[in-house]
Amino acid sequence: MIQEQLTIINKLGLHARAAAKLVGVAGQFESRIVLVKDGREADAKSIMSVMMLAASQGTELNVRIEGDDASEAWVALLSLVQNRFDEPE
């Protein structure tokens, strides 16, 4: 199991397009991926669940990944966030 922290750095946070990209990346993996903000858990493969976190710029999310491809999933999620969800800012 992987437990790490991610900081949302893009200007608009986890708005609809960014959340959809995150869900798309998470959905490529068999592992169970859970995002936690202020004690609330979200299934990273559910767009509604991710959007309900209301994660704005600067939000720190705890990420838990369990499964055989957990390492690959973590690298993909980290890359997506560090690349600001492919947004200009």
Question: For residue 52, what are the CA distances in angstroms to 27, 28, 46?
Answer: 18, 21, 10
Name the β-bridge partners of 26: none
All residues at 6 or more sequence positions from 60 whose CB lies less than 8 Å from its CB, including other chains: 5, 6, 7, 8, 37
Q: What is the pTM of this model?
A: 0.95
DSSP state of 84: G
pLDDT recorded at residue 88: 82
Q: Given a cut of 80, is residue 5 above it in pLDDT?
A: yes
Q: Has 15 been annotated as catalytic?
A: yes
* CA distance from start to end of the chain: 32
Please check whether residue 79 is in contact with residue 10, taking contact to mean a CB–CB distance below 8 angstroms: no
Pick the catalytic residue: 9, 15, 20, 52? 15
pLDDT tens-digit map of 26-80 = 999 999 999 999 999 999 999 999 999 999 999 999 999 999 999 999 999 999 9
- Rounded Cα distance, 57 and 43, in Å: 20
